A and B are shown apart, each in its own frame.
Chain A
Amino acid sequence: MLISPRIPGPEPLAPPRIDTSAAGFTLHGHWTLACMRPHLAALRRILASSSGDLAWDLSGVERLDSFGALLLWRTWGKRYPEMLILPDLLRHAFERIEHPADADSPAAGNKVSRLLARGGQGLLGFLDHLHGMVELIGQVSTELWRLPKHPREIPWLETSAAFYKTGVQALPIAALLGFLIGIVLSYLSALQLQNFGAETFLINILGFGVIRELGPVLVSILVAGRSGSAITAQLGVMRVTEEIDALAAMGVSRHQRLILPKVVALTLVMPLLVAWTSALALVGGALAAKMQLNIDLVSFFERLPSVVPVGNIGIGLGKGAVFGMTIAMIGCHYGLRVKPNTESLSANTTSSVVSSITAVIIIDAIFAVLTRTLGVPR
């Protein structure tokens, strides 16, 4: 084994120094980026007032890197001075920067053409999204059509895992959310209704509002943030690490193994989550009504079916299923678009959540128009 004797303490590096005389310039010390950094402003000043016409003596320089060489080279006007003492060892540094290979960044064109190009890219990007989404829907539908004929290939395990992760694990947070919203809604409505002496209408407001609107939309926003982002991030990382390609290479369809389970699971689990959250919101609302308006809990739930037609439950749960499918599809769509870099992963995850929530609200508005005659008491 070879062990050299230990030599204590580092020797301090001599800082770059430049001595000016009438004849010319004498350089000393370490002319390297790290050593020059603290004295850079002063060195630049001295160099700016010097020129390549005088004599330069570099024999005192201990180390010169290409930055030091670059500074001197530019000071000399990109040529060697007439009178120059340059040790051979330092010449290497100049050789590296004498003949720069160069390439300009590809950004070019004037303002108008850049603007046009950006607009065109935006439009093409939108069409690309549309294309990707249609393709995804098509692939998933094909798989749904094909799988019953090949029951061995049905991804039971993946579906049940997705069911557990997106549904069962969301139960506590969904319960808390629903319960608190129920209390707040009930309390605020009660305050207003008291003014008109219309306390009993609280049950109508809560029943309609929660079962038909708030329940599905609230759960969708929760699930979009919780599971939509997770789906995008998971598929995105699998794209980055080429795991999706590995699946494809083994002849396993990514749509069958990765996407379908998530879409099916979310479509099935969302109505259940909606029912759970709406129920807890109603319980919260009933408790607040009991405290604020002294409406008995039993009479609250006895009156509920008579003022809110049962069709509303169907609308609420149906919306839940559609929203769940939408969130899963959008999550998968953005996940598959991730490019192999970190920036794209974060951008697509953000887009996934924002798009799912927007899509849910737009679809909710469409539902409101289409079902305006359904489940409404006359």
Chain B
Amino acid sequence: MSVVELVGVTTRFGRLLVHDHIDLSVHKGDLLALVGGSGEGKTTLLRHIAGLSAPTTGEVKLFGERYDEGSYHVRRLRRQRFGMLFQHGALFSALTVYDNVAFPLRELGGLHEDEVHALVMSRLALVELDPHTAWQMPAQLSGGMVKRAALARALALEPELLLLDEPTAGLDPDRSAGFVRLVRNLHDSLGLTVVFVTHDVDSLLALANRVAVMADRRILACDTPEEIMCLDHAFIDTFFRSLRQRDEPITPWMH
């Protein structure tokens, strides 16, 4: 069964056409990367999937259901089946990291506080954050730690689907590689389906098992990274150029 299915999604912002009849389906266990130039509406597509915005026409189905299908209760249950990591973390700045991660658990209700504590600590361990970080405020954390804490919050309910908006943006290559490894491990151990938007070729190749390339308001291609790299298109060419160049020996730049 497709976890996410987009059928004929068209989005307009006023007179600006962002998506033009996009079809896409994400299967269970996929690690799908959405790539494309700036302003191609990658983040907007991710927000459509999360139900934070709606396409002008077309259908977005999550776990086989439209995002507005069913009663309030059903919609809420559906929302608890996926987690989203926002580009800048979007941690609640007035709460500690502990309370941020505990928030979705407490919202669910019915859990004892000691169970919440155990689960929060296990999530923090999952994203490789030091337990003492729990008592810090988001403003005290570094960029990489904010991302990890936000990921811990997105994973709080152990969702089946994880949506990541630029997970490695703003991280140095070392941390970025660590973050990718982390998501990969989580994918393997939790059986997650992951959809992520990225600009970073390295994290794309290290993480994705499918790549959807957005260009000219459509999905140009959706295939394995190896197949995508063989395609002949101006965007794909520029996107992977840095990688191709790297295979050649690096010569120091001289006057």
Question: With a CB–CB cut-off of 8 A, which chain B residues contact A100?
Answer: 118, 121-122, 125
Task: Tell me whether A102 is interfacial, beta carbon within 8 Å.
Answer: yes
Minimum CB distance partner of A40 in chain B: B110
B134 pairs with A341, CB closer than 8 A:
no
Task: Tell me whether A32 is interfacial, beta carbon within 8 Å.
Answer: yes
A34 pairs with B93, CB closer than 8 A:
no
Supply 6 A–B pairs (Cβ within 8 Å), ascending by A.
A1-B222, A2-B25, A4-B27, A11-B1, A33-B105, A37-B109
Q: Which of B98, B110, B118, B158 has the most CB of A within 10 A?
A: B158
Task: Tell me whether B189 is interfacial, beta carbon within 8 Å.
Answer: yes
Given contacts A1-B221, A10-B1, A34-B77, contact A103 B135 (CB under 8 A): yes
For the complex, give the distance between the alpha carbons of A341 and B163 in Å. 25
Minimum CB distance partner of A341 in chain B: B93
For the complex, give the distance between the alpha carbons of A343 and B138 in Å. 12
Over the window 94-108 of chain A, the binary record of Cβ atoms lying under 8 Å from chain B Cβ atoms (1 yes, 0 no) is 001100111101100
A7 pairs with B132, CB closer than 8 A:
no
For the complex, give the distance between the alpha carbons of A340 and B93 in Å. 7
B94 pairs with A343, CB closer than 8 A:
yes
Q: How many residues of B sit at the interface, in one of the four size bands?
A: 35 or more
A9 pairs with B64, CB closer than 8 A:
yes
B121 pairs with A102, CB closer than 8 A:
yes
Task: Tell me whether B237 is interfacial, beta carbon within 8 Å.
Answer: no
Q: A: which residues have CB within 8 A of B? A: 1-4, 6-11, 32-34, 37, 40-41, 65-67, 70-71, 92, 96-97, 100-103, 105-106, 339-344
B94 pairs with A341, CB closer than 8 A:
yes
Question: With a CB–CB cut-off of 8 A, which chain A residues contact B80?
Answer: 34
B131 pairs with A102, CB closer than 8 A:
yes
Q: B: which residues have CB within 8 A of A? A: 1-2, 5, 7, 23-25, 27, 63-65, 77, 80-81, 92-94, 98, 105, 108-111, 115, 118-119, 121-122, 124-126, 130-132, 134-135, 137-139, 157-158, 189-190, 219, 221-223
Given contacts A10-B64, A101-B124, 8 further A-B contacts (CB under 8 A): A4-B2, A34-B81, A37-B108, A40-B110, A70-B118, A100-B121, A100-B125, A101-B125
For the complex, give the distance between the alpha carbons of A280 and B130 in Å. 64
Question: With a CB–CB cut-off of 8 A, which chain B residues contact A96?
Answer: 122, 125-126, 189
Q: Which of A9, A102, A106 has the most CB of B within 10 A?
A: A102
Question: With a CB–CB cut-off of 8 A, which chain A residues contact B110?
Answer: 37, 40-41
For the complex, give the distance between the alpha carbons of A92 and B27 in Å. 22
Shortest A71–chain B CB gap in Å is 8
Shortest A61–chain B CB gap in Å is 13
Given contacts A34-B157, A67-B115, A92-B189, contact A4 B94 (CB under 8 A): no
